Amino acid sequence: MARIEEVAKGIYRICTFEPGFGISVNQFLIGDECPALIHTGMFPMYEDVRGAVAEVMDPKRLAYVVVPHFEADECGGMDRFVEEAPEAVLACGEAGAMINLSGWDYSGPVRGFRDGDTVDLGEHKLRFMETPHVHHWDSMMVFEENTGSLFPADLFAQPGDQPPIVRENLGKEACEMSREVGIFAAEWPVLKVVDRIEELAPSWIHPMHGGSLPREAIHYYLDALRNEPFAFDGRLFGRTLPGFPAPAEADPTLERS
């Protein structure tokens, strides 16, 4: 069952814990004159997520459904949300619009964004950041300027059923989860984005998995990404693929050299 809590001014975290994966799946609703939903959850989650949105506002009022990259937990319910909201636009990176939507069975309104493009929602303003290969080719992040909130999709994900706001240091656990799952192919693209995030100095980071990170906790996770191995080491969801060394034999410094 989806839970909804306000984690920053006008920003609501909708959270469903998935015990089979050992993580939460989060969506974020920005309530404003032009409301936006960031992530939709998987297709079977639609009714629960819609119900959580309806606790705050009529889902038909959605103006934007933001898809940071194309994956089931990001956009499995996009068609249904956009179909119900006649003014809604599907917002994704320009690369995502070109390489995915141009070839999918989707005919709804869509707008592709480049790095630095902005959208005014009313009291909130979204700025888009292109972050390819963190972790997909079409990946982007969204920064809400008035609350200083960064929505980084899968980066900064924490394992377990975390509370709405996380202040403890789970950086090492987050990096190990990323390695075990195999989510980031290489460290270089991620570390370049880590530098951008540090320069951005967000007040909040709202990951798609885990709890939201306030400013005082963010440095734990930036430090962990710079000091702990987190990139693909031959494992996919804990299973070592043929032809790759066992994790204990892999060189964790290889990607950093």
Mean pLDDT along residues 126-151: 97
Mean pLDDT along residues 161-165: 97
Mean pLDDT along residues 2-17: 97
Beta strands in the chain (DSSP E): 3-8, 11-18, 23-30, 36-38, 64-67, 89-93, 110-113, 118-120, 125-130, 140-144, 149-151, 204-205, 213-214, 235-236, 239-240
pTM for the structure as a whole: 0.94
Counting residues of the chain whose pLDDT is more than 90, the rounded percentage is 88
Q: Which of 106, 129, 102 is nearest to 202 (CA)?
A: 129
Residue 215 CA: distances (Å) to CA of 129, 165, 243: 19, 11, 42
pLDDT digit string, tens, across residues 55-95: 999 999 999 999 999 999 999 999 899 999 988 999 999 99
Domains of the chain with CATH codes: 3-256 (3.60.15.10)
Q: Please say if the pLDDT value at position 229 is more than 50.
A: yes
pLDDT digit string, tens, across residues 180-220: 999 999 999 999 999 999 999 999 999 999 999 999 999 99
Residue 257 — pLDDT band, cuts 50, 70, 90?
A: very low
Q: Please say if the pLDDT value at position 256 is more than 70.
A: no
Provide the mean pLDDT of the chain: 94
